[in-house]
């Protein structure tokens, strides 16, 4: 019978395999939408569950006007649960001539939860987000979750332009 440490390793391995598969599919599906696809990385903290998270995203060029598709994967650790969030978000970039621009967006999420005491659960959620991004790629983002997404997330990241 496997011990708790082996169970955790197996769960993290499953999360990693799912994440790599998800990002691969996103890149494959995003490329036809627009020739320019921008990858990025992110990290931050969330409230309820209280976690530290890391992740990555890809962003398509403008689909319509200044509306972009920016799916992302975030893995959260802490509060006796590991959360793999698959977020299918759209962002609208407000026009700006300054080095910083503001954006807002929203989208559905699929949250895969693995509890430290054992057990997995999959829940649907929804995110509303606001952010500011510098022309060179640094960004700050605030997400408000609805349904089964974390209540609040504050993140910082970098988009590789």
Contact yes or no for 19/41 (Cβ under 8 A): no
Q: What distance in Å separates the CA atoms of residue 18 and residue 24, rounded to the nearest whole number? A: 10
Mean pLDDT of 111-117: 94
Query: Is pLDDT larger for residue 6 or for residue 135?
Result: 135
Mean pLDDT of 118-134: 96
Predicted confidence (pLDDT) per residue in 18-34, tens digit? 655 555 555 555 545 44
- The CATH number of residue 9's host domain is 2.40.160.20
pLDDT at 92 over 50: yes
Considering its fold, how many domains does the chain have in total? 1
At residue 85, the pLDDT reads 97
**71 lies in which domain range?**
4-159
At residue 33, the pLDDT reads 44
Q: Which residues of 53-78 are buried (b: 16+ CB within 10 A; e: fewer)?
A: bebbbbbbeeeeeeebbbbbbbbbee
Q: How high is the mean pLDDT of the chain?
A: 87
At residue 19, the pLDDT reads 57
């Amino acid at each position: 019978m496997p011990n708790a440490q082996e169970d955790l390793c197996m769960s993290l391995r499953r999360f990693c395999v799912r994440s790599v598969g998800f990002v691969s599919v996103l890149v494959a599906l995003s490329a036809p939408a627009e020739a320019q696809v921008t990858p990025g990385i992110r990290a931050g903290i969330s409230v309820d569950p209280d976690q530290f998270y890391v992740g990555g995203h890809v962003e398509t060029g403008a689909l319509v006007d200044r509306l972009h598709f920016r799916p992302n994967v975030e893995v959260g650790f802490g509060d006796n649960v590991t959360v793999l969030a698959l977020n299918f978000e759209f962002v609208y970039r407000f026009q700006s001539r300054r080095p910083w621009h503001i954006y807002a967006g929203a989208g559905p999420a699929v949250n895969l939860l693995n509890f430290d005491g054992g057990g997995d659960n999959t829940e649907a959620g929804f995110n509303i987000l606001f952010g500011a991004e510098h022309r060179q790629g640094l960004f700050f983002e605030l997400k408000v979750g609805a349904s089964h997404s974390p209540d609040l997330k504050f993140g910082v990241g970098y988009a590789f332009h």
